[in-house]
Structure 1
Amino acid sequence: MAGQKGTVLRIRPRGRPAVLSAEAIVEKAVGMLDAHPTAELSMAAIARELGVSAPALYRYFPDWTALLNAMSAEVFRDFPEIPEDLSWGDQLLFWQKQVVSLYHRHRGVMMLMGWDGQLAGPWLRVQMPVLLVLKYMGFREQALVETSAWFLAGTLGLIRTYLPADMEDVASSNQLDLDNGIGYLTEEQRQMLDEQRPWITSGNTERILETGFRALVEGVIQEQRRIGAAD
């Protein structure tokens, strides 16, 4: 028709538009894990949240492990580098605090550090700067392995113990209910516990973590001195 020359006719394709992608699956899975870190997560549950069938997810991730690896890579992707202009002790403390920050952003991060008895590759990459700092401090071979082991385990142990109390779906009463253990204590121990009860729930989490982290860092420095003296 005259006047319509050059008009492009756009035809909307039939069927449901494709909204599923590997990125969308990972984003949904990480979001679900962060929202309910103690709940069981599965391909079927993720598929339900996405409004698709479970087999649709397997077109992007052949198995559960593949999806976990992708989730781990996403969560640990932007973990910051340790500043080189800090002292060795402050470098270690910086790393510890970044793990806390990551824990606050991703409440399910502990699950993505490893599974089936193996460390997740992205989490291993995050740990390696700590080993490098210890190497620069003079730790070698068995001393490097053992020192990094208790430093990393101590850091994560403090985080696991004291941060969950601030989370809505983790009942702090489960951690603070001491009555079931009273029967195992001596009279003197019971009396001491009763005296401390008013203070148990008033502990400052940030102060506890800061003190614990600094104690671990100081332990590394003391171990460095001991090894240096031995050499």
Structure 2
Amino acid sequence: MMVANEDVQVAPTRGRPATLSADGIVDVALKLLDAHPKDELSMAKIARELSVSPPALYRYFPTRTSLLNAMSAAVFADFPEMPADRSWREQLLAWQNDVAAVYERHHGVMMLMGWDDQLAGPWLKVQMPVLTLLHSIGFSRLSLVETTSWFLAATVGLIRTYLAADSDGLSRSDLIEFSEGLGGLTDAQRMLVEETREWISRGDPARILNLGFEALVDGVERRLGSLQAKGHI
């Protein structure tokens, strides 16, 4: 899903609408993306929402990339710094929770991390503290690249899967309906599903997500210990 840089033949409005601004366009574009993260976000759609013609938007954002960059910058502008007074484990956990908080505010944030096979600059800036921290505790060269790439991808994947950010309205895994899939299970498996169903709604979503985060940080620590034991660090 990408913002289409369309050549829509619409007669331009006379003059520049007094209420139109770059910030206003970005705000409306983000609201549309968050409300319908699966739909194509076109310049024409944004223009209709603002009651202007598409050419009016191009005065502020001449390309699709320029608008996406502005949207990405707005979403990640206030991303918190890592708490330097905590252990490296606690810093990674804080970073993961801050990314989850961005997902909860902006359900369409996934597409603002990169497009056209390019990583978005604002998202790269958000990732840099993780790269820097892992380097500071001993990872370097290939081990740094591999561990950082795995940690970042696994964190984003876990958040996206658990928070179901692509759905219309945030839905968590504790709301999943199982009945359609029961037919292919054994009697013992069906009984286990029924037993599990009773407890799903009692789980604390924040605790469940953090269990996943802790498992990923544990993986970083195991990888660090393994490299140290082999004398690679």
Look up the match of 1:213: 213
Look up the match of 2:181: 181
Alpha-carbon deviations, 1:24-74, whole Å to 9, x = none? 211211122223333432111110111100111112222222211110011
Distance in 1, matches of 2:116 and 2:178, equals: 32
Aligned identity (percent) is: 59
Is 1:128 matched up with 2:111? no
Look up the match of 1:94: 94
Counterpart secondary structure, 1:107? coil
Q: Is the contact between residue 71 and residue 112 of structure 1 (CA under 8 Å) also seen in structure 2?
A: yes
Q: CA RMSD in A?
A: 2.5
Distance in 2, matches of 1:38 and 1:227, equals: 41
Look up the match of 2:204: 204
Q: How many residue pairs align between the two structures?
A: 217
1:142, distance to aligned residue in structure 2 (A) = 1.7
Larger Rg: 1
Q: TM-score, normalised by structure 1?
A: 0.83
1:180, distance to aligned residue in structure 2 (A) = 3.6
Assess, with a 3 A threshold, how the Cα gap between structure 1 residues 229 and 191 changes in structure 2: closer, same or farther: same
Look up the match of 1:71: 71
1:187, distance to aligned residue in structure 2 (A) = 3.6
Counting only pairs closer than 5 Å after superposition, residues 133-148 of structure 1 correspond to structure 2 as 133-148=133-148
Counterpart secondary structure, 1:79? coil
Distance in 2, matches of 1:215 and 1:113, equals: 24
Assess, with a 3 A threshold, how the Cα gap between structure 1 residues 206 and 174 changes in structure 2: closer, same or farther: closer
Q: TM-score, normalised by structure 2?
A: 0.83
Assess, with a 3 A threshold, how the Cα gap between structure 1 residues 117 and 142 changes in structure 2: closer, same or farther: same
Distance in 2, matches of 1:149 and 1:111, equals: 18
1:127, distance to aligned residue in structure 2 (A) = 0.6
Assess, with a 3 A threshold, how the Cα gap between structure 1 residues 16 and 156 changes in structure 2: closer, same or farther: closer
